[in-house]
Amino acid sequence: MKIVMPGDRVGSTEEYIKGRGVYEENGELFAAVAGYLVIKDRVASVESFSNIPEVMKGDVVLGRVVDVRNTMALVEVVSKKGEERTLTTRSLGLLHISNVDEKYVKDISEAVGYLDIVKARVIGDNLRLSTKEEDMGVLKALCSTCRSEMIREGDMLKCPDCGRVEKRKISSDYGKGEW
């Protein structure tokens, strides 16, 4: 199924009928929420990721970054702190650039990378996430060139194989193997 983010174009009103989670602007249809795009009987709708009964506002979760775009990152939430089991429902959380760090973040790709493992707090509905706290952020990152696990060096991460240096919002738990 296709994953869409708020503001993504899903089609035109000539192609589809506006369904749930979709809004229209000048004959074009856009996703209003993050979720899976569903086209059924010409109706385009977006099923939001919000429905994880096991996760609530205030919870700390562990997830994998599956997409990084413009001002947002999508995080597949796999585990909840305090419960060692993996969640039965896989769901996607949304990390907006304004919730990444206390400090100003100009480009979200300087804070999280594709397939990074992150620790985040759930701050609102639709699995909105924040990594502002010191121990929140990236716990494990792979080099974008050679896919080796990167090692922390001060505020940066360095690849032990190719020497590449990358920037992240690094959790104080980075590389500890626990969270």
- Footprint on this chain of Zn ion (rule: CB under 5 A): 143, 145-146, 148, 159, 161-162, 164
Distance CA 141, CA 125 (A): 27
**Looking at beta carbons only, is 134 or 149 nearer to Zn ion?**
149
Residues 6+ apart with CB under 8 A from 91: 49, 50, 51, 52, 55, 76, 77, 127
CA 120 to chain centre: 10
Min dist. Cβ of residue 150 to Zn ion (A): 8
Sheet holding 17-18, edge to edge: 2-4, 35-40, 43-48, 17-18
Min dist. Cβ of residue 146 to Zn ion (A): 4
**Looking at beta carbons only, is 145 or 172 nearer to Zn ion?**
145
Min dist. Cβ of residue 115 to Zn ion (A): 14
Min dist. Cβ of residue 147 to Zn ion (A): 7
Q: Are 120 and 93 in contact (CB under 8 A)?
A: yes
**Looking at beta carbons only, is 124 or 160 nearer to Zn ion?**
160
**Looking at beta carbons only, is 3 or 151 nearer to Zn ion?**
151
